[in-house]
Amino acid sequence: MPNILKIFIFFFIFCINNNSFSQDLDDFKKYGLKNKNYDYETLEPLYIGNFLSSIVASKNKDYKNFLNFSEKALKTKNNNIELLENAFWANIYMGNINRSLKIISEIELLSDEHDQKFLYPTIVELVRRNELSSAVEISNLLGLEKHDIFTKIMLQTWDYVFKNQKSNAITKLQNYINSTEKNSDLYFFLKVQNLMIYAYFDEYSETIEAFEELQKQIKIIPSRYYINIAKIIYYKIDEKKAKSFLIQNLPENLDLDFALENLPKKNIYDPLKLLSNVFFECGYIIAKSEGFLKSIPHFWFSLYLDENNQSARLILSSFFSEVDQDDIALEILKNNKNKSPSWIISEFEISYIQEKKGNIDLAISIIEKISNETKFKNKALLRMSNIYRRKNDYKKSMEFLEKIDLSKIKSPEVYYYKSLNLVLLKDWENAIESFDILLKNYPNNPEISNFVGYTLVDRNIRLDEGIDLIKFAVSKEPQNGFFLDSLGWAFFKLNDFRKAIIYLERAIELEPQEMEITDHLGDAYFKVGRKQEAKLVWERALSLNGDKSLLEKIKKKLDKNFNYNKK
């Protein structure tokens, strides 16, 4: 390993705090931990137990215990490289960048082996210490993966900018843009960086030209770049034009008033904010090429550089909520100290997580506060309606839907949920009338076509129309298991069981964990006399998550036809 890297790593050992993060078993395979020759007979039982427990916790996406057991194992045998690497990943995936740096320094005391996975935390810490040139030097040791190249070039480019080496910065970035796939997220990120660099050097005509080029393609440019574009317009071109740009383009789920008020307040050339966005974008690159799990460290790096990077905070909280680590997800969101245009998304996310945890009253109270904001009132009413619907209080759900100002709603959601509530209330006359309104307003929406078509077929009314609607949905999304289930069920209702089985079997392949689809296939098998297969399918349905009433219906079918409960 080059001496400069060792110097920086050993320097960090005296400057580290504690923190937390995690990793799937695949990472242990990838980085060779499963291929190490462990001499288990000579290892302390405590070490073995904690080490293996940490791996199991990682595999089960139990990140708190992954960190807990990996650190306990390391405490038992603190000079073991395998344990150090295990603890390194546990801390990285829990966002403990400082602790991971200390572990890196301990690994370097035991081994001279160069390993790229230890470079990123070191690079990020150097950036955080405003030692960008040193970060650039270490980044040159990164590999040739797309995200590695991106990191190297962006660090080098901004290092040139802050050294006032305009020609080097612009040339470096332009060459990279020319090698990038046009109209990709990366391409537009680089074009925005290009706009910012021209503006930084007060290149007025080039700034205008760069903005106009972006303006032509604004509808396909990711909205996460809009704020930076608006700030450049505000500072370097025209304040009114900047406000007009946000008014026309900012997504409705962001707080436009707050964004407008803060246009003049934030310095977009703060190195930490700039490079926080670079690591955030690097996370996107990794997510697309290697999967979401692998990208999580980079979103933590982004947040480590700028604790006000709300986009990184939201992605991290969503990840931990998705793997049922809700307390971690809530802590990430609650640690946000500054308001941003995406504050509304954050509040909704907290409400979702609280509802998921069973704290229904708390989830509702959060949204009730938002309903007092006129610009977000309709969104809040829709959200509260959905909470009550999931509580099976369909009348209360409808009450909130009726309060929504339809003149200010541009999406089909309200019409859809009204129809759904009417179906759940078994108010068929009004439900059918609602279907007609829904189809008239949104005739080419496959989700709506499938929903209406399935309901018509299931009720044995307007069957031909129902099947046509489902076929339209399937034509738009032929790999959608739910749409295929609807089509299979439609043929079942028409007594065409052969076709029903074909579509239902395909639906099961695509959605193997869906109780209702599995139940439908069991019904079709039973109708054609394939009773043993029907029994096996229904038995499997009992092991899946689903509606309790459906579960009871399946049990009754098994009991009636196979004396299931008497065995």
What would the mean pLDDT of 271-284 be, rounded to a whole number?
A: 96
Phi (first) and psi of residue 180, to 5 degrees: -100, 145
DSSP state of 15: S
- What is the C-alpha separation between 311 and 313, in angstroms, rounded? 5
Sign of CA dihedral 180, 181, 182, 186: negative
Q: How confident is the model at residue 28 (pLDDT cuts 50, 70, 90)?
A: very low
- Distance, in Å, from the CA atom of 192 to the CA atom of 207, rounded to the nearest integer, reads 10
Is the predicted pLDDT of residue 46 greater than 50, yes or no? yes
pLDDT at 274 over 80: yes
Average pLDDT over residues 269-273: 93
Select from 380, 432, 442 the least CA-distant residue to 411: 442
pLDDT classification of 373: cutoffs 50, 70, 90: confident
Per-residue pLDDT, averaged over 298-326, amounts to 94
Q: What is the pLDDT of residue 115?
A: 73
Give me the mean pLDDT over the 498-504 stretch.
94
Q: How confident is the model at residue 168 (pLDDT cuts 50, 70, 90)?
A: very high
In this model, does residue 23 exceed pLDDT 90?
no
Residues paired with residue 94 on neighbouring β-strands, in sequence order: 21
Does 266 have pLDDT greater than 90? Answer: no
**Residue of higher predicted confidence among 78 and 307:** 307
Lowest mean pLDDT among 20-29, 317-326, 368-377, 381-390: 20-29
Residue 323 has pLDDT above 80, yes or no: yes
pLDDT in tens, 412-453: 788 889 888 998 898 988 888 888 888 888 888 999 999 999
What is the pTM assigned to this prediction?
A: 0.79
pLDDT(4) > 70: no
Question: pLDDT band for position 372 (50/70/90)?
Answer: confident
For domain 3-115, say whether CATH 1.25.40 is its number. yes
Task: Return d(Cα 298, Cα 316) in angstroms, integer.
Answer: 10
pLDDT score recorded for residue 337: 79
SS (H, E, C) 270-335: CHHHHHHHHHHHHHHHHHHHHCHHHHHHHHHHHHHHCCCCHHHHHHHHHHHHHCCCHHHHHHHHHC
Q: Is the pLDDT of residue 269 over 50?
A: yes
- Which pLDDT belongs to residue 45? 61
- The fraction of the chain above a pLDDT of 70, given in percent, is 90
**Size of the chain, expressed as the number of residues it contains:** 567
The residue ranges of every structural domain in the chain are: 3-115, 180-269
Residue closest to 190 by CA, chosen among 133, 164, 228: 228
Condensed to tens digits (0 to 9), the pLDDT of residues 104-130 reads 988 888 877 667 888 999 999 999 999
For all residues of the chain together, what is the average pLDDT? 87
- Percent of the residues in the chain that have a pLDDT greater than 90, as a whole number: 66
